[in-house]
């Protein structure tokens, strides 16, 4: 929770954004704000869908806790072809169609654990906040030809490492090497608009693995992951996910809408991002820009000097 104080005429937010107590996208392997349509693959962890979910066939929650709520659907749940496997409990805000008799027992009544309207606003604030973070490591980009750009990212922080890349470079990448020399984790901001595809390439992480990586795609509206080795978690709340072929995501995926078919299915493996940023709670307040932080720090210095002068006069 933010508390604001006046310091030299500048509003100051004390402390970092806190972690939400209700369930958020950080608690799910696949989080879709809108509509989910999926066929012929699976999400190993928990799934939350703000709108309707149509599954034909699909497996959910294979590596999630069996006794938990592993599928949350804010709209209607449509299960076709009789091949869906749901491990754990199911909560549905709308109607259910095609859910077999043995699956009916998995449906848990009650209020949904996710407020999708609030969560959409929070994710928009989060992606905007993360894109304002400055680079903390070194970036090397070498172009060896079409779809063969090699990107090397080197971060030495034991905690958070930040890298900012152009969408055009990511879209053309063949190999991305991430070196975490002190075992930290990385947020990679992709700057640009339109669509990008992680296709026919790979991510190699030294000093960690895919759990240590979060891609932030604040301006991307179209996304696909296919024939890509390694991935990391992806925060893309404005993006429609439409794969062009079969692929794997080793991490959490957060998107606006998700569409998959037998010919272009995506398997989402239950790799949870190690950083706490996905659970940040902003309480409706904007996060200050770096320049504003500088003014705030300066304001604190002025306020402290004034306080010391008042104490000296009083003495």
Note the pLDDT tens digit of each residue in 129-158. 999 999 999 999 998 877 789 999 999 999
Does residue 291 carry a pLDDT above 90?
A: no
Average pLDDT over residues 260-267: 88
Share of the chain above pLDDT 70, in %: 82
Beta bridge partner(s), residue 250: 269
Lowest mean pLDDT among 19-23, 37-41, 240-244, 261-265: 19-23
Query: Over the Cα atoms of the chain, what is R_g?
Result: 22
Beta bridge partner(s), residue 41: 58
Higher pLDDT, 21 or 274: 274
Note the pLDDT tens digit of each residue in 189-222. 999 999 999 988 899 999 999 999 999 999 999 9
Beta bridge partner(s), residue 247: 266
Model confidence, pTM: 0.83
Note the pLDDT tens digit of each residue in 97-122. 998 877 888 999 999 999 999 999 99
Residue 297, classed as helix, strand or coil, is helix
| CA dist., res. 238 & res. 243, Å (int) | 16
Lowest mean pLDDT among 45-49, 83-87, 155-159, 220-224: 83-87
């Amino acid at each position: 929770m933010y508390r604001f104080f006046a310091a030299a005429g500048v509003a100051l937010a004390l402390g970092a954004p806190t972690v939400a107590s209700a369930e958020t996208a950080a608690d799910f392997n696949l989080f879709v704000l809108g509509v989910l349509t999926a066929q012929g693959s699976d999400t190993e962890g928990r799934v939350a869908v703000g709108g309707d979910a149509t599954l034909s066939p699909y497996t959910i929650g294979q590596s999630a806790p069996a006794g938990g709520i592993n599928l949350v659907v804010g709209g209607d749940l449509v299960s076709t072809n009789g091949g869906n496997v749901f491990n754990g409990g199911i909560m549905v805000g709308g109607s259910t169609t095609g859910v077999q008799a043995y699956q009916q027992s998995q449906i848990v009544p009650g209020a949904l654990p996710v407020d999708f309207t609030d969560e959409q606003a929070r994710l928009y604030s989060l992606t905007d906040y993360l894109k304002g973070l400055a680079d903390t490591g070194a970036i090397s980009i070498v172009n060896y030809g079409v779809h063969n750009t090699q990107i090397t990212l080197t971060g030495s922080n034991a905690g958070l490492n930040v890298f900012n890349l152009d969408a055009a470079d990511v879209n053309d990448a063949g190999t991305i090497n991430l070196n975490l020399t002190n075992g930290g984790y990385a947020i990679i901001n992709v700057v640009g608009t339109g669509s990008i595809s992680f296709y026919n390439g790979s991510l190699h992480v030294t000093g960690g693995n895919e759990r240590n990586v979060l891609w932030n795609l604040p301006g991307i509206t179209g996304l696909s992951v296919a024939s890509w080795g390694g991935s990391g978690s992806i925060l893309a709340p404005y993006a429609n996910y439409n794969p062009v072929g079969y692929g794997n995501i080793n991490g959490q995926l957060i998107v606006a809408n998700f569409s998959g078919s037998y010919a272009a299915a995506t398997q989402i493996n239950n790799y949870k991002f190690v950083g706490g940023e996905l659970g940040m709670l902003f309480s409706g307040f904007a996060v200050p820009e770096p320049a504003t932080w500088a003014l705030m720090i300066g304001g604190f210095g002025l306020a402290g000097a004034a306080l010391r002068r008042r104490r000296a006069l009083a003495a």
